[in-house]
Structure 1
Amino acid sequence: MPLVLEIISPEKLLLSRDVDMVVIPGTEGDIGVLPGHSKLITGLRGGLVDIYENNTITDRFFVPGGFAEVTESYCAVLADGIIRQSDLDPAKAAEAVTAAQAAYDATDMNNEEAYRLATDRLISAQAMVDSISPQRSDKV
């Protein structure tokens, strides 16, 4: 019994298909979702969404954040944005980290909301760099 996966960005439905498993970057760690998974709604941190078919990663997408809804037979990834891993640009990723670090350094640490947003942006930018790093031998 396959799992129906939908990946939805603010602009459009990017993907809708049956998969064997998907691994999503949850805020508390990566979550492997198989058919029969318990119902769950979770936030997403910046990281890779890995799509498995026949025990092989067939597609990999970077999401900077968002939410995921999981049921026994369905997983919806509601991403703030989405980029196919192979389309990630190392120079743009490095620029994003530099900009996020500058914004973080300029943040009023007494403003909890501003601090949270700046921290999330920096973590997501660094996750993008990590997603394209040459040390990742599991690229598709």
Structure 2
Amino acid sequence: MSDKLHFSLVSPERELFAGEVDQVDAPGSEGQFGVLPGHAPFMATLKPGVVEVFEGEDRKRLFVRSGFADVTPQGLTILAEEAIDLEGFDASSSKDALEEAKEELRAANDDQAKARLTETISYLEALVAAAA
């Protein structure tokens, strides 16, 4: 058994991370989970939140909107709907978008628009909190 975990995080735009790490913590839709080398295989859906990658004393934080995590004997792969490297991320535009979405929700009058805006607000709140 290897003492490192192969981890890859991919979004539709690009691969944000690929490498050998010590541990990865991810925001599962059923709760936060961690993966270490030699972990038993499983699949999980992800909710908006921070994926933390631990490599020695270094820690990398990546925000995912949602997606899937697949743990196999070869490692962990996360396929994210959207992913952002939080290092150096400026949340000011996200804060503006959050306020706009809240205004739109107050003015919305059909259930489909309200549901879409509520999901957007949840995502943006999680992103702003993660970047703080």
Q: Match of 2:16?
A: 14
Q: Match of 1:34?
A: 36
Identity %: 32
- Within 5 Å, which residues of 2 pair with 1:1-140? 1=2, 2-54=4-56, 56-105=57-106, 106=108, 108-109=110-111, 111=112, 115=115, 117-133=116-132
Partner-residue secondary structure (3-state), 1:38: coil
Partner-residue secondary structure (3-state), 2:125: helix
Structure 1 residues not aligned, in runs of 5+:
134-140
RMSD over aligned CA atoms reads: 2.2
* Cα offsets for 1:8-51 (capped at 9, x unmatched): 01022222111110011111221111122232222211111110
- Paired residues of 2:51 and 2:62 also in contact (CA < 8 A): yes
Cα shift at 1:103: 4.6
TM-score of the pair, normalised by structure 1: 0.78
Closer/same/farther in 2, CA of residues 108 and 23 from structure 1, 3 Å limit: same
- Paired residues of 2:86 and 2:131 also in contact (CA < 8 A): yes
Displaced runs of 4+ in structure 1, greater than 4 A?
Answer: none
- Paired residues of 2:8 and 2:15 also in contact (CA < 8 A): yes
TM-score of the pair, normalised by structure 2: 0.82
Compare CA radii of gyration and give the structure with the larger one.
2
